[in-house]
Amino acid sequence: EVQLVESGGGLVQPGGSLRLSCAASGFTFSSYWMGWVRQAPGKGLEWVAIMKQDASEKYYVDSVKGRFTISRDNAKNSLYLQINSLRAEDTAVYYCARLVTGRAFYDAFDIWGQGTMVTVSS
Amino acid sequence: SYVLTQPPSVSVAPGKTARITCGGNNIGSKSVHWYQQKPGQAPVLVIYYDSDRPSGIPERFSGSNSGNTATLTISRVEAGDEADYYCQVWDSSSDQGVFGGGTKLTVL
């Protein structure tokens, strides 16, 4: 079964850091672009970041540039999101997702995890 | 950055056709993807590259894209189609993805 499982969320104070993880199974992880999408409570989806199979290309939404870092370990079938300098507006469910064809950064996200909640509050 | 505009809500009776629009400047030149999200669940891809349907998505779901508007069409609407729907594109001018604000589909 194709599956993505996120972990690492939690309650963190403003200015703090977290590292989110996403474990992939059921497909050849190293063949796909992967990314993160977030959703603030009661709000819509927000595209966050994606990266290429070999990590040679990474793209971020403007609001997280310089604070968030996407990375991957193909040997461990894992995707990561290091989030620093957290703000209240970063409070959201963070979803890990696979890009559908594995060929292009403009692909759709076809497989999604169940999400991990990040709450930024003092 | 590129803006996608969706109506906040669309209502339709069971068995009828629902059309959810996604507006953007010359969106017809971009590839549009559509997602369905039910409460408490992760999004599900229902249409990609304007009109392609992933395996397992009913033929009742279709998409089109031209000019300044992309449209998700759901034929013979069922109660189980009630959900939030989001469109998404790649903005090549800023090198980032963009989601529309979402449309809540209510089945009357």
pLDDT in tens, A94-114: 999 999 887 788 899 999 999
CB atoms within 10 A of CB A82: 14
Span A55-69, average pLDDT: 96
The confidence band for A83, taking pLDDT boundaries of 50, 70 and 90, is: very high
Chain A touched by B44 (CB under 8 Å): yes
**What is the predicted pLDDT for the residue at A102?**
74
> Residue A90: which of A11, A21, A35, A4 has the closest Cα?
A11
B55 and chain A: CB distance < 8 Å anywhere? Answer: no
> Which token pair is B94?
């800023």
Average pLDDT over residues B20-33: 97
Cα(A100)–Cα(A110) distance, integer angstroms: 5
Task: Assign B48 a pLDDT band (cuts: 50, 70, 90).
Answer: very high
Say if residues B24 and B88 touch (Cβ distance below 8 Å): no
Q: What are phi and psi of B25, to 5 degrees?
A: -60, 115
Q: Rounded to a whole number, what is the distance in Å from the CA of B53 to chain A's nearest CA?
A: 11
CB contact under 8 A, B33 and A95: no
